[in-house]
Homo-oligomer: A and B are copies of this chain.
């Protein structure tokens, strides 16, 4: 029996450990054994590493992954779109699996809130067979029911991992709070979700996009992605000053749509103030529970805002992401986001690079 190597988070805030796990000769029926080509380091991984979210330990991190199928389990013959699958195919997959049967899956059609949802790289204890349920590894075992997508040859692995779960998260979010052509848009945050939201707003015909964030190398990337203006949180440390700049750039009214992709609670009351009356505010970045913030709800009534939240994404958002990348020049832009590559052994260093905001996008190449 062969073995696979994985970078394992065994203790919060400690260096990842390289461990080995047995690779079954035959994946379970409906599953697949995939050799990892590239695994993205997501900002969430840093939160997980620091113990800011509740997960089982040890865990093999990694939920943004591209690999090649090594072996297909019995009965698995097609990808999510119905395309035939064969060993050697390059694939990616939706990071979560839902039950399809609960109140949220069935009655209310909110599958991202499935009561049994589990995500690769997050929800699976690496001590339990079959162990290999995360992307920070040279091999991963996909469960039956995973939404697998065969990648077209024209679409580089770098584009898919460079876009990562930021793009699918933004696709879901902007489905709930759409940008219409001609809209004036503010993006709060220059991380992967913010960049993806910027790309989608641009692609949807926004008239003007203002991105608020930092550090400078990410604001430069935002300009490359098509932002009309950027506001540096390093230069404008005061919320009122940032608001003044945004109002000046929006004819004094504020934006039609504001997309929060920051994660700090304070970005939410700030973002509401950047909306025009009757505008839309998408709270897309508050993934971790970072506690309370003082907030004046009078703003929602008086400005008659529409505020939307969005959690994770569904397989159909991965489908849309791949189609977007495949069919447009966005694939090159997202691929260029990848500035740092590490081997599996340096996964911890990769996390630190990410944590310190030094990188565009950091990836593992196992």
Contacts and interface: CB of A to CB of B under 8 A. Distances in A.
Nearest to A251: B103
A305 B268 CA distance: 14
Among A80, A181, A208, A288, chain B packs the most CB atoms within 10 A around the CB of A181
Contacts of A304: 110, 112-113, 176, 308-311
A212 B6 CA distance: 53
Interface string A291-302: 111111111111
Contacts of A178: 180
Nearest to A292: B294
Interface residues of A, number: 69
A109 B316 contact: yes
Contacts of A241: none
Contacts of A43: none
Interface string A262-292: 0001001000000011100001111111111
Given A82-B102, A108-B278, A309 B302 contact: yes
A129 interface: no
A205 B207 contact: no
Contacts of A104: 277-278
Contacts of A301: 283-287, 309-311
A168 B116 CA distance: 29
Contact of A323 (B81, B101, B102, B182): B182
Among A80, A113, A288, A300, chain B packs the most CB atoms within 10 A around the CB of A300
B283 A297 contact: yes
A1 interface: no
A352 interface: no
Contact of A302 (B286, B305, B323): B286
Interface of A: 78, 80-82, 101-104, 106-110, 112-113, 176, 178, 180-182, 200, 203-205, 207-208, 251, 253, 265, 268, 276-278, 283-311, 315-316, 319-320, 323-324, 327
15 contacts: A81-B106, A103-B251, A106-B319, A110-B277, A110-B304, A112-B304, A181-B324, A182-B320, A204-B205, A207-B323, A277-B311, A287-B301, A300-B307, A303-B311, A305-B308
Given A265-B298, A286-B297, A289-B296, 12 more contacts: A107-B319, A108-B278, A180-B204, A265-B297, A284-B301, A289-B298, A295-B295, A303-B309, A306-B306, A307-B307, A307-B308, A307-B309
